[in-house]
Amino acid sequence: MEARLDRGTDTRDQDRVTIKSKGETAAETIAEFYKLLEEYDQEISGRLRDVQPEADEAGE
């Protein structure tokens, strides 16, 4: 199972995350997916939001 999540609207303010899970059965695959999604939501998404793009040297 695979899902891609995009956050942000501006080119320099976008985060893209792909979450993939595998299991022996559909139920195991879904359970693993939700576990990974929760981990992303609690730990990784906050880190990504804290990373801000720097203005380039031209001042743009």
Give the model confidence (pLDDT) of 10-47 as tens digits.
767 677 888 999 999 999 999 999 999 888 887 777 77
Residue 1 is predicted with a pLDDT of 92
Per-residue model confidence (pLDDT) at position 33: 93
Residue 9 reports pLDDT greater than 80:
no
Instruction: Enter the tokens of residue 29.
Output: 């695959």
CB 17 within 8 A of CB 3: no
pLDDT of residue 20: 93
Alpha helices in the chain (DSSP H): 26-39, 45-50
pLDDT of residue 53: 62
Identity of the residue numbered 42: Q
